[in-house]
Amino acid sequence: MAHVPFFDGHNDFLLRLLGASDQRETLWLERGKEGHLDLPRMQQAGFAGGFFAIYIPSPHEENAPDYLAMMDQPPYDLPLPALIHADQAQPVAIRMAGHLMWMERASSGALKICRSSAELRSCIETGTIAAIMHMEGAEAIGPDLDALYAFHAMGLRSLGPVWSRPTVFGHGVPFRFPGDPDTGPGLTDAGKDLIRACNELRIMIDLSHLNEKCFDDVAKLSDAPLVATHSNAHTVTPSTRNLTDRQLQMIRESGGMVGLNYATVFLREDGRKSTDCGWDPVMHHLDHLIEKLGEDHVGFGSDFDGAELPDVIGDVTGVQALIEEMRARQYGEALIEKIARGNWVALLERNWGE
Ligand code: ZN
């Protein structure tokens, strides 16, 4: 059946390049077996565009427990990592923004960093991969927000105020299963300023990883559609990282969007990390998101290179198998096109303006 180009809400490929500058030609330009993404696999898979996350890793902890092993043995409740100050985070964030700019230069026209709806449309028309510079956690921005304007000038067009960690702006959810997303206080005053500034600059605000009180504060303040780039349904998998039906209803009413996360820990009903789960958990979440959000407000949000994925997906080349599974379950071609790409493009046009 026909290959469907798709747009993706979240990947952590820049994290693979961080600290591996000497291997970046190999990692990006050569077809690899490790990780989920590289340019040849993305082109083969029909990857039309997506959000590339700038994410600041927590410093290495001596004698830390094996958190990944804990996530395969629910119930679990991982502690929130410590806050990272802007003066520590900024050099890392600049390096990652630079890696994305290098990827654009190294791609000989195959990938372009998109800063506007017009650039996004042009990429789609020409079959160029549309990369959106995104920040997953605003650690690199201080409470004076000056760095927000600097990163906007570099091409930043999407930002999540927090990862699962506190920032000066608000709190993320700890990874907990079972658990609900109401895990802490709402936005700080600086967080409210950040939301207003993102609205002014038309930087898309990402609610994935925010706790419920912060989510509600953004909903009250923001004049943009509510978006969770890579989150699933709490009713299906009661993880702190997933969205309750009340949150999904608010996203729908705002004209927003949710990207389906392929991470097994947020997909499997038992909350485990194991990857031998077949299609059922993936399709259960997708069906629930469509039921609650409507057909125009759901897309993909893979978490490529940031999580363990079901064996049936494997890496970016498995997305066409997901599309085949949607066909097998009576999704029509028009709905498949919307979920694969059309809804993300329309959302970005609503957020960024024509
Ligand atoms: Zn994430």
Tokens representing residue 45 in the block: 């898979």
How remote is the CA of residue 93 from the centroid of ligand 1, in Å? 16
Ligand 1 midpoint to CA 320 (Å): 23
159 CA distance to ligand 1 centroid (A)?
12
Distance 150 CA to ligand 1 centre (A): 23
* Span from the CA of 128 to the centroid of ligand 1 (angstroms): 25
Structure tokens at 12: 């952590």
How remote is the CA of residue 228 from the centroid of ligand 1, in Å? 10
CA torsion sign, 95 to 96 to 99 to 100?
A: negative
Q: What is the pTM of this model?
A: 0.98
**Alpha helical stretches, state H, the chain:** 13-17, 24-29, 39-45, 67-70, 86-106, 117-126, 146-154, 189-201, 212-221, 245-253, 264-267, 280-293, 319-328, 333-337, 343-352
Structural domains in the chain, CATH included, are: 7-56+67-352 (3.20.20.140)
Q: Ligand 1 centroid to 308 CA: how many Å?
A: 12
Distance 31 CA to ligand 1 centre (A): 25
What is the distance in A from the centroid of ligand 1 to the CA of 8?
13
**Whole-number pLDDT of residue 167:** 97
Cβ–Cβ under 8 Å, residues 155 and 112: no
With beta carbons less than 8 A apart as the criterion, state whether 327 and 286 touch.
no
Ligand 1 centroid to 209 CA: how many Å? 7
pLDDT of residue 1: 65
User: What is the CB-side half-sphere exposure of residue 173 using CA atoms within 13 A?
Assistant: 26
Cα(37) to centroid of ligand 1, in Å? 16
Give 330 Cα–ligand 1 centroid separation in angstroms.
30
SS3 content of the chain, % helix, strand, coil (to 5): 40, 15, 45
Instruction: Report CA(11)–ligand 1 centroid distance (Å).
Output: 8
Determine the distance separating the centroid of ligand 1 and the alpha carbon of 275, expressed in angstroms.
Answer: 18
2 C-alpha to ligand 1 centroid (Å)? 31
For residue 115, what are the CA distances in angstroms to 26, 45, 109, 121, 349? 27, 24, 16, 11, 11
Q: How confident is the chain (354 residues) per 10-residue block, as mean pLDDT? A: 91 95 96 97 98 95 83 92 96 98 98 98 97 98 98 98 97 96 97 98 98 98 98 98 98 98 98 96 98 98 97 98 98 98 98 94
Expressed in angstroms and rounded, the spacing between residue 245 Cα and the centre of ligand 1 is 20
- CA of 1 relative to ligand 1 center, distance in Å: 32
Ligand 1 centroid–CA 136 distance in Å is 7
Instruction: Report how far ligand 1's centroid is from the alpha carbon of 21 (Å).
Output: 23
- 303 alpha carbon – ligand 1 mean position (Å): 7
List all residues 6 or more positions away from 146 whose beta carbon is below 8 Å from its beta carbon: none
pLDDT of residue 297: 98
